[in-house]
Amino acid sequence: MNTPADALIDPPVNPPSGPPSVKRPTRPFFWSVRRELWESRSIFIAPLSVAAIVLLGFAMGSRKLADGMRLVLMRQPDDQRMLLERPYALCAVLIILTASFVGIFYCLDALHGERRDRSILFWKSLPVSDLTTVLAKATIPLVVIPIVTFVVTVGLQAALLLFSAAVVAAHGVSIDPIWTMHLVQMPLLLIYGLVVTALWYAPVYAWLLLVSAWARRGPFLWAVLPPIGVIVMEKLALDTSYFARFLHYRLTGNFSEAFHAGDIFQGSVMDQLSQADPAKLLTSIGLWTGLVGAVALFAAVIWLRRYREPI
């Protein structure tokens, strides 16, 4: 007895009754930034290592903390605030300097490293534009490192505050709690300083990325020696120092443009916050010319990354 042909055909499969799945966007910029964070762990390790060393040193010197606190409390109120805030300000300076060095060496290796190990051939095979890649790399020193600096600094200062309060309380030393309120203002000063620094040094980071995309070897030397050569040649040929003054202004003018006239490194946190002048910064010609120069340099970096071959 023959089997009907229709019986050999599989029954139709009913389509799923649920809603159709929505394809998520690939978000290339987000994953490009994640890639930089995966490959550059020093962005987190270096500030955290410095914070751990500072905290360990503070703990080792805790025996003299109560005696030092008694001597500080014998001073005038203004001197008390300055002396009590000094260790916390020093911690912030150490973390900021460490993060700055990390940002400098990250930029010098960001594009040079992928050309040196020829991984640029793999990354260019992915559907990620050079614009996205360069913007992701520029985000690290301009956005990510300042955020990491802020979080690590505030965490270290909070740990030092809790530890010192517990130690002096155990030795029966009473502290006026008013001065601790000034420490709450430190994060405000830190945020302002980090934003000012990121905006002011944008052309510097762009220059370092440009050298990283162009140099075949020794990007640090190529980043440093040409400006020094220009300074020397100008001095020998014209007996002037305009370019040296320009570099000095670009490297150290952020605080003079963001604060009132005066030494902002003197006085308490309240004094420093009172000297902050965002309007002066936003109307500064140096800030906007630097940002325009940074945009031009970043455009050159994108062009170089597109046509530069592996080393």
Domain layout of the chain by residue ranges = 41-307
- pLDDT on residue 122: 82
- pLDDT on residue 187: 86
- pLDDT on residue 151: 95
- pLDDT on residue 189: 85
Taking the complete model, does pTM exceed 0.85, yes or no? Answer: no
- pLDDT on residue 1: 47
- pLDDT on residue 291: 95
Q: For each of the chain's 311 residues, which pLDDT tens digit applies?
A: 455 544 445 455 555 555 555 555 568 888 889 989 998 899 999 999 999 999 888 777 666 665 566 565 566 555 666 667 777 888 888 999 999 999 999 999 999 988 888 888 887 888 888 899 999 999 999 999 999 999 999 999 888 877 777 766 665 656 555 455 556 778 888 899 999 999 999 999 999 999 999 998 899 999 999 999 999 999 999 888 999 999 999 988 888 888 876 556 665 566 677 778 888 889 999 999 999 999 999 999 999 988 877 87
Q: How far apart are CA 297 and CA 213, in angstroms?
A: 11
Backbone φ and ψ for 276, nearest 5 degrees, come out as: -65, 135
Neighbouring C-beta atoms of residue 84, cutoff 10 Å: 21
Q: How far apart are CA 311 and CA 309, in angstroms?
A: 6
- pLDDT on residue 308: 78
Contact 203, 196 (CB under 8 A): no
